[in-house]
Structure formats: structure tokens, C-alpha cells
Structure 1
């Protein structure tokens, strides 16, 4: 039986709580014959406070060699490097750039039982993916910008033909695998940019249009970033897959998460050709750390994405079946009213985790 090594980095704040919850649910889904081997590594702001290192080289090597990486959350307020940048971000950013995790996949779905702040929007109306280019864009300038005499700061925005083309192709492939937009069932890819103002985004759009010709079965459209922020509020059911630059994707995915219950309901997957990194999109929430009230759903759903990615990559149905059962368990628990405080309930982390572990054993793999 093939085994897979999972690098587990708990991180900061509520990170250890939600990460442990996700590991328990995965273990419950796979049972005693689990092919996963979990290995823990240190990284984050708290580790920086204790040791002066935010991401030890041994931890990086462990993550690089692992079959997948599962992370809780990173960062603590005020814990920064001498240049003012957050110590907790080193972990995520180094993995993205050095392991070439070019595709940041953010599923946005409203579950039955979670109330959206959008009026008259119900479960089934919001179900799309924001695909964020993860290795270029404005964030590629981290550490490479310039501060001139304390008067002028410059951070360049970088787009390459290779980088844009591969993320656009990933978007079309995701659309092909999907069931289309909730409103009309159309498989659609929306290119989000600011092509009317900046050459870098006009370049992004031109590559999108060229690649789109290879996918005549997928509908395409363009949207400017400012208009898109409005559209995700006014007509979210129209969208299927949205592809965009790094910073725009970061901002849009937080806005989108708010429409489906908040960051606690926002899983994410960051994948490249050989490595995969999985974490919820929320922060470390140190104000509630240790209180037992953190929402584990986002990290559990991220772990399900990890199993899917591994399962498809290795043609291992044990993992894809477990991923389906975990998602079904999440649906069941939320529909039955097992909600954490951030999504309108009173259930704690342990109660939700225990219920998910029970549910994965009782939901058939095909559901």
C-alpha cells in the first residue's frame, strides 16, 4: 500500500486548534488503514518570538519533501521582522515562491444552514471558484521593492507570459470539471483585471483571450476589478470560475468569503506541478485562541481538497472517496445546525470536530 507523507505546521493563534481538528477528521475518514503519515514542523510568529527564526530550514526541507502540506494559520499582531514585514507570512510566501505553487484555488460556496449577509441569497446560489495567480503579480515584489530616501516607495507588478498562460489554462480545466454556474449551469471563465488602465493587466487579458480559443466549449468574459467587487455582491450566482492576478485574487476572495459566512468557511489550496499546500483562508485570530470556539470547517474543507489533490494525482480512490465523505459530513453537520459562533451558532471546536468524525463514518462514499 502506498503511503503519503503530510507535513503539518500548526502555526499561530487558532492554527493548532483547527489543524488538529482537520487531522482528526481525515484520520476518521481513512480509518485504521490510513495511508497518510503526519509529520509536524515548526514555523510562524510564535516560533520567531521563541527562537528568532520564523521558518527554520529543517521545516522548509520537510515541507518540500512531503507529499502535501497542511497548515493551521500564521501571524501574530506586532510580531514583525526589522523591515516591518510580518514574521508569520514567511512560511506561506516562501512555500509559494520556492515550490512554485502557482495556482491558489479558493472555492466559494454557501452551505445550507449558513445565512449569507446578502439579501434573498440561499444555499445553491453561490458556488464558484476564484483562481488566483500565486507566484507573480504585485506580491512577487516582496523584498524586491525600493524605498528612496524615505520619500518614495516602489513595488513593481510582474506578469510573465508563462505565468499567466498556465494559470489561465488551469482556470479552463477547472471549469471543464465543474457543473457550471448556479444561475444557468454554464461552464464559464471570467477574466478579472484592470486592462483599461495598466499595461500589465492588458497583457494578462490578451493571453487569456488567446488561450480561450483552445477551449471552445467554455464560455468566456472579462470583468474589471472594481466592477467585479460589485458583481460578487449583486449577482454571485452568475459565476463559475474567476481567474485573476495575485493581489486582486487576495482581495476578491476575502470579499467573496464574507458572502458565504466569513473566513471560517473559506478553504484554499495552493498547488504547483509537484507540491500542494492546504490551509483555510482565515488568519490566526489570536483573540479567540485557546477558548475552544474556533471554526474548524475551513481547515477541514482544505484537508478534503488535499485528499482530492493527492488522490487524483496518484489515482488513489481511497483518498478521493475520503474527500467526498468529509465534504458530505460538513454539509450534514452544518445543515443540522452545528454552527460555530462566527456563523451564528454556539458549537465549539471540539463538538464540531467530534460530530464530523462520527459523520464521516456514516456517510456513504458515493454521496
Structure 2
């Protein structure tokens, strides 16, 4: 447990992963080094995991890698998974790295900021930069994904997975959503600090229970507005009125789905960093997959991973009251914002032609500029 004091150096477990993972991970590491006054502030140690590891060794997530991730100050990742590399049950072997980390380290809060930056044209053409700025807080250890590896297939005719919703799990994720809303500036549309509970309470008892517990927690936060949206309606709202939202809290699978939709409105998965946080550990990566079809071509968008690095520094900085890390996190955010204002620095998925290396170099150059 952190004692709230800065460290001379923070140990970062680095897993580069599969497909474009090594490329975007390297970009993120370069940005971290450029933003810090002394790159030695981060002690980087690399470990194997993912689909490639499974192909080579028959194990997707070695126990030694897990132990290193558990004991590190933070975990930094590229991307995992190759669609054709699967277990006998048809599920992707490479995904075990992230999924096991969530459950074994109790990384219960999946935080995905959805923000439209200057220089990016939204697929929702009438929304300008600054008008889409919300956070999806996804419960990360329960819901339908808790059934991973435990579902049933009976005689090749019937398959079932079970969703799990607990009071304790719901209380802590909703509480974190309200605490987060208190630190933000409110929804772009009206400036109100707002938590929206996204569920399917009109059909399933488990989601009605999630809503009930969330309502009880909300009573302790009279300064933050409580809002509700059914998940099917939410897919419409995030297209029609994304400026209404501030913090959205939801179940695991629903959060996975709507955060991808949200990312599509602010430039795509390449602009979507994510943090997975527990009481002791933090895991940071971009929300996108490994995109093996473009691996090695130098055209992957590194910005999501670079921004995930900033989230890592911010989390560590707050946890250890280390202003050096907090300043470096802000430096990366500013640098990314500055770089993507130049159309020549946009990657292919944002309509540009800049290479991963050129974008990374530009971000690093901006990080080195005086604040």
C-alpha cells in the first residue's frame, strides 16, 4: 500500500503484447521519457504475455509475469490478442492477460475518458471539440464477463453464461463515479456535475438491483445529479446528445460496448486510453485491439497508448503525492493536443497520413518544450 509519499523511482511492469502492441507501447514509453525531467524516475521492466507468448510456450500469461505485475507500482501494456490464436473453447488466448489481471488484482474500476480534442473531426459533425467530454466508469470484475471460463455447453446444444452483480461491487464503482464527478467541470451542455447509471433495469432483476444500490449511494452526494439510461437508449443518446454526459457508470459488458461507441465519436479507438484501477494496482493501455493486419507497417495510431501513459503518471502522482509525475502527465496531455491540431500529424484512422514514428517524435518534441 502506498504511504502517500513520492518515490525516487517507480517500478513499471511493461508488457508489449501482440500485433501493433509493441509499436504503440514503444511510442508510449518514449513519450513518458520525454515528459519526465529524469526518465530514470520510471524503472521499466519487461515481461511476456499474450497470444504470441501462448504460441511460443503454450501459456498466455506466465505466473512470473503475474507476480511482477502484482508487485509493480503500475502496469503498462501495448495490446493483446490475435483472433486466430484461441483455446479449445474458441476464446482468444491473448485476452487472458487483461482479464486475469482484472480478476486476480481486483481492478474493479475501468476508466475510459471520451473527449473530443481540437484537430479531430467527430463522426458527429455538428459537435465541436470540447462539446464531447465525459468518462465511462465500467465495473470491471462482475457482470457477464465474470463468467469467463465458467460457462456451460451442454451436449453441444445449450450454452449458458451467468452474470454476477453484488452489492459491494456496485457500491464501490458507483461511489467512485460520484467522487470522480466531484472533481470534474460537469457536462459540456449545462455544466452540471452528473452521474448517469446505465443499465437494463426494466427487464432484468440484476440490473434493477444495480440501479437500486446506485440510488442508495447517490443519497450521499446531493451535490451531484443522478440520472438513468437504459443501455439500448444510451446507444442513441451517445450519438444524439453526447454533450449531456459527465460520468457514466455501468456494468462490465455494457461498459465495454458503449465505450467503443463513445470512442468512435471522438476519432476512434486509437484516441481512447483506458485505466483499470484497484485498491492497490493500476493497469494502463489503449482501449483498442492488436490490429495484426497493420502490425509492422508503422501506421498504427500511438496516441491512445501515449495518453494512457499520461493517465498512469496522473494515477501514480495522486497516489504518491508526486508533483513531478503530475506535471509530466499534464505535459503529455498538452503535447498530444498541440500535435493533433496540425493536419499533417494525423494518423490514417483520423484521416491523415502521418506515420507512428512521426507522431511520436512530434509528441516527444512538444513534451520537451518549456511549460
TM over 0.5: yes
Alignment of 1:298 with 2:300, yes or no, is no
Query: CA offsets per residue over residues 141-185 of structure 1, 9 Å max, x none?
Result: 111111111111110110000000000000001100101111111
Root-mean-square deviation (Å): 0.8
CA distance in 1, matches of 2:307, 2:338: 13
Distance of 2:304 and 2:113 partners within structure 1: 10
Alpha-carbon shift at residue 121 of structure 1 (Å): 1.1
Structure 1 position 300, deviation (Å): 0.4
Unaligned 5+ residue runs, structure 1? Answer: none
**Equivalent residues in 2 for 1:1-367, closer than 5 Å:** 2-32=8-38, 34-337=40-343, 338-364=345-371
Instruction: Indicate if the aligned counterparts of 2:33 and 2:39 stay in contact, CA closer than 8 A.
Output: no
Deviates more, 1:28-37 or 1:17-26: 28-37
Look up the SS of the partner of 1:362 in the other structure.
coil
The answer to whether the 8 A contact 2:32-2:39 is kept is no
Query: Structure 2: which 5+ runs fail to align?
Result: 1-6
Deviations 1:309-341 (A, max 9, x none): 000000000001000000000000011221100
Conserved in 2, the CA contact under 8 Å of 1:307 and 1:319? yes
Aligned equivalents of 2:60, 2:147: Cα separation in 1: 20
State the alpha-carbon separation in 1 of the partners of residues 28 and 288 from structure 2. 15
Query: How many residues of Structure 1 are paired with residues of Structure 2 in the alignment?
Result: 364
How many angstroms apart in 2 are the aligned matches of 1:123 and 1:362? 24
Whole-Å Cα distance in 1 between the matches of residues 128 and 370 of structure 2? 24
Deviation digits for residues 322-363 of structure 1 (CA, Å, limit 9, x no counterpart) = 000000000000112211000011110100111111101115
TM-score, normalization: structure 1? 0.98
> Residue 103 of structure 1 contacts residue 132 of structure 1 at CA under 8 Å; is this kept in 2?
yes
- Which range moves more in the overlay, 291-300 or 50-59? 50-59
Given that 1:329 and 1:363 are in contact with CA atoms closer than 8 Å, whether structure 2 keeps it comes out as no
- Give how far 1:34 is off: 3.5
TM-score (norm 2): 0.97
